[in-house]
Amino acid sequence: MATEVKPKSNRILLIFGVFLAIVAFGGALLVGRTGGGTTSLGNGSKNVPAVVATKDIPASTQITADMVTVQQFSSDQAPPYAFRGKDLVVWQVCGDPDPSRPGDHRL
**DSSP collapsed to 3 states, the chain:** CCCCCCCCCCHHHHHHHHHHHHHHHHHHHHHHHCCCCCCCCCCCCCEEEEEEECCCCCCCCECCHHHEEEEEEECCCCCCCCCCCHHHCCCCECCCCCCCCCCCCCC
Would you say residue 45 has pLDDT above 70? no
Is the pLDDT score of 47 beyond 80? yes
pLDDT surpasses 70 at 26 = yes
Confidence of residue 29 (pLDDT cuts 50, 70, 90): confident
Q: What is the pLDDT of residue 37?
A: 45
Model confidence at 4, in pLDDT bands (50, 70, 90)? confident
Give the chain's mean pLDDT: 79
